[in-house]
């Protein structure tokens, strides 16, 4: 029993060393440069079809138009809601319909866009990247609305049971944040698109790391005990490692079958 704290410390150090080794391997395996790393993250979660992506100069962004909107919308929504602190409640029922319409718009536009892969299909309307961006951003706004309450309820020993989105006014603010994402993406300004490209890929890893970190907390029965972020650093770092391993595995499989880091060809 006397050696237990030392063993725990040694186990943590070994775990951190393994995670650092995984990170080094991922950095060496993926394309060079910041955008190359962002491409590698997008490669694991997105088709990255050139025609369905916005471009930074002649190169497509790391995520397609819909995925760019989704993850940037999620980032904007998370920042907007986190400013209210550890609120762990779901939105009131009066907001369920407009929030549900965001998800429905994503499903309708995504299905319509997918069906245009098939020759001769007319579809409900002609899809385009602006609509993909808007519908993706709408779903992105919805993701933290569900994920953040789950995080707060799982992680913290003490939390505010009120919802972050608690009124029509707060919903309007969220929609304005989403509109800001859309306008920034449609600006086409390389000075704006470059950081947005990096942020969209970083948000992919952040969402995956959070989800896996919550699973780690539940598995080790550490849920409902944290009082500060210092109490969560280890499960979140492990969650990040799992997220990195997932992208590593999918990238390797996709690269093996396609032989290229480029997106799928139509």
Task: Tell which phi-psi region holds residue 196, choosing left (phi > 0), alpha (psi between -120 and 50) or beta.
Answer: alpha
Task: Tell which phi-psi region holds residue 56, choosing left (phi > 0), alpha (psi between -120 and 50) or beta.
Answer: beta
Burial class (CB in 10 A: 0-12, 13-18, 19+), 235: buried
SS3 of residue 262 by DSSP: coil
Q: So what's the pLDDT on residue 79?
A: 97
User: Phi and psi (nearest 5°) for 160?
Assistant: -85, 120
Q: So what's the pLDDT on residue 1?
A: 45
Question: What residues does 55 pair with on adjacent strands?
Answer: 60
Q: Percent of the chain, pLDDT > 90?
A: 81
Question: What residues does 34 pair with on adjacent strands?
Answer: none
Mean pLDDT over 7-19 rounds to 84
Mean pLDDT over 121-130 rounds to 87
Tens-place pLDDT, residues 215-263: 999 999 888 899 998 999 999 999 999 999 999 999 999 999 998 888 8
Mean pLDDT over 160-174 rounds to 96
Tens-place pLDDT, residues 33-89: 999 999 999 999 999 999 999 999 889 999 999 999 999 999 999 999 999 999 999
The residue extents of the domains of the chain are 32-258
- Cβ-proximal residues to 103 (8 Å cutoff; 6+ apart), any chain: 138, 139, 142
SS3 of residue 56 by DSSP: strand
Residue 262 · residue 255 · CB < 8 Å: no
Question: pTM (2 decimals)?
Answer: 0.92
CA 150 – CA 153 distance, rounded (Å): 5
CA 229 – CA 235 distance, rounded (Å): 11
CA 255 – CA 204 distance, rounded (Å): 19
CA 77 – CA 136 distance, rounded (Å): 13
Q: So what's the pLDDT on residue 11?
A: 79
CA 234 – CA 240 distance, rounded (Å): 10
């Amino acid at each position: 029993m006397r050696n237990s704290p030392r063993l725990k410390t040694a186990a943590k150090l070994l775990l951190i060393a393994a995670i650092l080794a995984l990170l080094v391997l991922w950095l060496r395996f993926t394309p060079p440069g910041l955008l190359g790393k962002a491409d590698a993250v997008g490669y694991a979660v997105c088709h990255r079809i050139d025609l369905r992506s916005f471009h930074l100069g002649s190169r497509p962004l790391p995520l397609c138009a819909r995925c760019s909107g989704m993850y940037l919308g999620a980032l904007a929504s998370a920042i907007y809601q986190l400013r209210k602190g550890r609120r762990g409640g779901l939105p009131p029922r009066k907001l369920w319909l407009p929030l549900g319409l965001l998800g429905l718009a994503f499903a309708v536009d995504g299905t319509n866009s997918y069906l245009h892969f098939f020759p001769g299909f007319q579809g409900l309307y002609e899809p385009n990247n602006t609509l993909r961006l808007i519908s993706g951003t709408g779903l992105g706004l919805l993701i933290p609305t569900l994920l953040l309450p789950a995080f707060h309820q799982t992680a913290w020993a003490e939390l505010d049971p009120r919802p972050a989105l608690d009124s029509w006014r707060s919903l309007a603010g969220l929609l304005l944040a989403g509109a800001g994402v859309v306008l920034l993406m449609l600006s086409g300004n390389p000075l704006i698109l470059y950081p947005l490209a990096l942020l969209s890929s970083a948000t992919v890893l952040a969402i995956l790391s959070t989800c896996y970190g919550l699973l780690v907390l539940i598995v080790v029965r550490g849920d409902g005990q944290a009082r500060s972020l210092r109490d969560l650093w280890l499960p979140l770092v492990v969650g990040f490692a799992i997220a990195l391993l997932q992208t590593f595995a999918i990238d390797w499989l996709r690269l093996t079958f396609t032989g290229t880091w480029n997106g799928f060809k139509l």
